[in-house]
Chain A
Amino acid sequence: MNISSIICSFTAIRDQLIPVIRDEFSITERIATEIFDNRLNPHFRRLKPTVYFLIEYPYVDRVYRDSYYSYFSSKQGNYGRDCVRLSLFDGEILPEQLRGDVDMSDIGQRYLGFMVLRPTIPYIVGRNVLSPRALQQDKFLSVGSIFQATVSCIKFQITGFPHSSQDSETISCAETSVWAIMEYFSSKYVEYKPALPSVIINALRSRSNFRQIPSEGLNIEQMGYALREFGFGTKIYSKDMYGDPVFKNLLSTYIASGLPLIVAISNRHLSGRIGHAVLAVGQSITTDDQIDNLSLIPETEPMALLKASNIQLLDNDNIERDFVFVDDNHPVYQLAPLKDPVKHYQSRDWTGCQVTHFIVPLYPKIYLDAYVAKKYIKTLLFENRFSIPGKTELFLRIYLTSSRSYKEYLAKDTSHNSDFRNLILEKPMPKFIWVGEISTKTLIKQKKANGLIIIDATEPNLMNFKPLIVSGYIDIFYYPDSKSRELIKNQLPLGEFFIFKNNLKGF
């Protein structure tokens, strides 16, 4: 048995792929056709028509092989071990471009990712990583990691977010979400390892009172436990506990921080049957209209300082924007607003679904979560040491980032006052920081701010300015004395500076 390869255009993929699926997965022409039309075409019709495919088979996929040996091989039915792999390129590719001593940089730049097809009929879409550049609608911001892939024996790299459909037996939506989170983080940071389906099942063995396969799903607590076992300091947020506005606001904060979230969706509050897990991995690009339409939303928690300060605060995370979802029932990168997270579903079964919980896979030494960090930064503002006149309208953007990423942006940016920049660059910082950028509606449309608050994400003791690293607004700059923790006030014009955009590579 040899490895076969076929190159074909977007318009020829149906005619080429149906016979391959039929023969490789030992199914009839009719079933192969139905699978193409119902399961694969929804993925393909979102692609740019300039896409070319390279089909390779048989292909050994590590994720499917894990499910095969731990489950499918134990069944009487005839399940194959091998998969089919599709590699996608922007524009025409020729066999000679992948052989011999030729410059492959052009074809490398045109590589758009891969999609594995596995013999779990009809749920055949397996592991895939596609670049947003492969899609016709690619105007959104999303987290992504670099994945290595081999195409016809040549190594390529692709930046995207991992996706797979559930096979409904070894992996349901819950396991797929945990798998995708681990694929993403293990590709990005050496601290984490990928988690194959059998590894996830084993990790939850002690937390399950009933059989684990065939999968009947997981509860949210089990997902949090699995992520903790895999090295995260997991945090869970429930809409019922935080209330709708704060809950949505916090979800937006974590997305702006470049963290993929596991999001629970349900319509059980309307006596529905849906309990589904998806990933939120990005957001739409912020428009001037969205900024103009942003209105004041009162803080729901008691904050005496807020009432006294009279500052009007517009929170970036209250913008009504779309978020990017990775859903194992649908093709990757679906845009939907939080108030209608299942807008891409046609079935009435999904009517009324709402986001009920979300899980944040935090780095374990981030002890200050978004709820407390945002309250702290807002309280510092409302306390008004910057002498901000009453009724001043401020636009506040708060996010988590690594100090390494933030300092690199600061070191390379030329819009900051040089003294202000040097003072921040030379401040010792923990691995992760919360940053509040203070701006106005006018300034933020130019992607600029004129104030900044940086706090330590590893410091949950909020007394006596312990988490505060620096704060500055217009011409006043504060930092706490390292011994006494008394604030030192400096008259230092900050000027207007460009906002930080490294988390999502845009705003």
Chain B
Amino acid sequence: MAIKMSKTEEILARLQSEGRQQTMDSHEDSIIRERMNHEMELVMRESQYKEYESQISASQFVLTK
């Protein structure tokens, strides 16, 4: 006897057949995606700057006590 444990296919097929599944590929969706991409580019740039400056600051800080 064998029992299939995985459920994902069955769940997604059910959601689709019940009209409860939708691919977010409209023009509006792509605008939102581009907006988020832009936001994340800013975050990454800011993060790299902060990391670089943190490393410089750390190199000058001696811990002795």
Contact = CB atoms under 8 A, between A and B. Distances in A.
Interface residues of B, number: 40
Most buried by B among A223, A266, A277, A488: A488
Interface in B15-60: 15, 20-25, 29, 32-33, 35-37, 39-44, 46-47, 50-51, 53-55, 57-60
A329 to B, nearest CB: 7
B19 to A, nearest CB: 8
A131 B6 CA distance: 41
B60 A490 contact: no
Interface in A426-466: 426, 460, 462-465
A371 B42 CA distance: 13
Interface string A36-54: 0000000000000000000
Contact of A221 (B6, B11, B22, B58): B58
Interface string A292-303: 000000000111
Given A302-B42, A305-B36, A375-B43, A423 B8 contact: yes
B51 to A, nearest CB: 8
B61 A219 contact: yes
Interface string A220-239: 11011000000000011110
B60 A488 contact: no
B39 A264 contact: no
B62 interface: yes
B20 A490 contact: yes
A220 B62 CA distance: 6
Nearest to A221: B59
A501 interface: no
Most buried by A among B8, B36, B37, B64: B64
B36 A274 contact: no
Given A220-B59, A372-B44, A486 B8 contact: no
A319 to B, nearest CB: 23
Contacts, number: 152
Nearest to A357: B58
A174 B24 contact: no
Interface string A461-484: 011110000000000001001001
B8 to A, nearest CB: 4
Contacts of A380: 36
Contacts of A484: 25
Nearest to B58: A220
Interface residues of A, number: 61
B37 A463 contact: yes
B8 A264 contact: no
B50 A223 contact: no
B29 A487 contact: yes
A42 to B, nearest CB: 17
A385 B32 CA distance: 9
A17 interface: no
A190 interface: no
A423 B11 contact: yes
Contacts of B22: 488-490
Most buried by A among B29, B40, B58: B58
A488 B63 contact: no
Contacts of B11: 419, 422-423
Contacts of A174: 63-64
Contact of A238 (B33, B42, B57): B57
Contact of A236 (B23, B44, B46, B55): B55
Most buried by A among B29, B35, B63: B63
Interface of A: 172-174, 216-221, 223-224, 235-238, 240-242, 264, 266, 274-277, 301-305, 329, 356-357, 359, 369, 371-372, 375-376, 379-380, 383, 385, 419, 422-423, 426, 460, 462-465, 478, 481, 484, 486-492
7 contacts: A216-B62, A217-B65, A218-B63, A219-B59, A220-B59, A371-B50, A488-B21
Across the A-B interface, give the 10 residue pairs with the lowest CB-CB distance, nearest first.
A217-B64, A220-B58, A491-B20, A462-B40, A238-B54, A221-B59, A487-B24, A422-B7, A276-B65, A238-B57
Interface of B: 6-8, 11-12, 15, 20-25, 29, 32-33, 35-37, 39-44, 46-47, 50-51, 53-55, 57-65
